[in-house]
Structure 1
Amino acid sequence: MFFLNNGDGSYSLTSNGYALIAFILFAVLIAIAFLAGNNKKFSPRVLIFCSVSIALATVCSMINPFKLPMGGSVTVFSMLFVTIIGYWYGPVIGILGGAAYGLLQFIIDPYILSIPQVFVDYIFAFGALGISGFFSNKKHGLIIGYIVAIFGRYFFAVLSGVIFFGAYATDYGLGQFNALVYSLLYNITYIGAEGIITVVLLILPSVSQAFNFVKKQAIQTV
């Protein structure tokens, strides 16, 4: 009803599948707006800021200077725009915002081997970017939160590589029993590269000040 077998071990979403994921994405965004509001009242400001961040992250994710054959790519600061949701509103909303972004990525470019693989690759990996929220009120919280968040995503990317894509280790001469080494190396190439570039950007005082200004606007009256 929701998935179509491609005959090569992978699946595609049916029209019902796309509709279901879109509904879940909408529900997550509405939940974010209620969770952020005072006394659990609906907060349009939070919904708008989170939606804009997710939209910017999605646009940036489509700009791929470097893309790997088995998934994963260096993008133009897409992870940053997801992590700032946690930086604004804390870990709960940050994780939900990351999961919403993951759902949108799943709608745009789904790759399905199994339900657990979908959760690890799209929900858990991108949701982990929201753990930046644990550092939202810390000194240099944006940079520290970003670094910790991308390590969270890296953890789930490596886990997925070991469990679901370990067989591809042989293509790189590593052998079936070195799936962990393969996954560690494969995923660090794109997550690490984008992470380094982004941290260099965030170190610039003008950039840091700009993000702090936007945060003040985002959390106003929340």
Structure 2
Amino acid sequence: MSEEMFQSLLESGMAKAVIALVILGILMTIFFITDKTRENSSTKALTVSAIAIALTFILNQITLFRMPQGGSVTPFAMLIIVLVGYFFGTRQGILAGVAFGLLDLLVNPYVISPIQLLVDYPLAFGALGLGGLMSKYDSVIPAFLLGVSGRFMCSFLSGAIFFGMYAPEGFNGFTWSLVYNGAYMGTEAVITVLLLCIPAVKHAISRIKNTLNANGTVDLTKA
């Protein structure tokens, strides 16, 4: 199947309906895999995840700087998905990231092959949920950096393998992908870390985490 045919297929009503159903299925999975022995934990995980996905989508539409071949610096969009993993664990964070990646695919598809689709959308954004591995830390910064590193690796490999032909003179596919993806993701990461260093922001995230964990509702130290 050619690139044009594959793109047209993804933009069809049937494909969009299937993607929407998959997103709904992922949200239901978040509900069912959360520890039900803790009062209201499943409902909280589902609610927070749905809000995070919606907020990430909104922030992702606000670009501080857009790269010419895709990718942009947004106002803290990646942080929101990382927070799901930080609050509820790695599995929930990955699933929320995958759901957002599919939502982004639903609205703004740019696909040249099935493998590139998987790497650039569900895998790249799902990798943000790896930040849940760092949920035991008092600061969210380690979780954020791990999640962003996971997304960067996916985008780097996609850029090197599928878009290396766009590398300017003096670069090969791998070095250009490193520079290109590092430029916008690194910029957003630095801005976000600076935000997270503000005491009021640190305390607000800590309060939210403690509130979600109140009365044994959610065990935030478990992935």
Normalising by structure 1, what TM-score?
0.90
Q: Is the 8 A contact 1:4 1:13 kept in 2?
A: no
2:79 is paired with a residue whose SS is helix
Aligned partner of 1:163 among 161, 164, 167: 161
In the alignment, what sits opposite 1:188?
A: 182
**Structure 1 runs of 4+ with >4 Å offset:** 39-42
1:217 is paired with a residue whose SS is helix
Stretches of structure 1 that go unaligned for 5 or more consecutive residues are none
Distance (whole Å) between structure 2 residues aligned to residue 217 and residue 194 of structure 1: 28
Distance (whole Å) between structure 1 residues aligned to residue 200 and residue 28 of structure 2: 33
1:101 is paired with a residue whose SS is helix
Distance (whole Å) between structure 1 residues aligned to residue 3 and residue 152 of structure 2: 29
2:136 is paired with a residue whose SS is coil
Distance (whole Å) between structure 2 residues aligned to residue 44 and residue 204 of structure 1: 30
- Displacement of 1:216 after TM fit? 2.4
In the alignment, what sits opposite 1:114?
A: 113
Cα root mean square deviation, aligned: 2.0
Higher RCO structure, 1 or 2 (CA under 8 Å, sep 6+): 2
- Displacement of 1:139 after TM fit? 3.6
Q: Is the 8 A contact 2:3 2:113 kept in 1?
A: no
- Displacement of 1:6 after TM fit? 2.9
Distance (whole Å) between structure 2 residues aligned to residue 187 and residue 5 of structure 1: 23
Stretches of structure 2 that go unaligned for 5 or more consecutive residues are 219-223
Deviations 1:139-191 (A, max 9, x none): 42x1011011101111000000011101101xx2135xx10000000001110
Summarize the Cα distance change of 1:173–1:62 in structure 2 as closer, same or farther, 3 Å threshold: same
Q: Is the 8 A contact 2:124 2:152 kept in 1?
A: yes
In the alignment, what sits opposite 1:211?
A: 205
Distance (whole Å) between structure 2 residues aligned to residue 190 and residue 154 of structure 1: 10
1:51-200 correspondence to structure 2 within 5 Å = 51-140=50-139, 142-169=140-167, 172-174=168-170, 178-200=172-194
Q: Report whether the alignment pairs 1:17 with 2:21.
A: no
Normalising by structure 2, what TM-score?
0.90
- Displacement of 1:219 after TM fit? 3.8
User: Percent identity at matched positions?
Assistant: 37
- Displacement of 1:13 after TM fit? 2.1
- Displacement of 1:108 after TM fit? 1.4
Number of aligned residues: 214
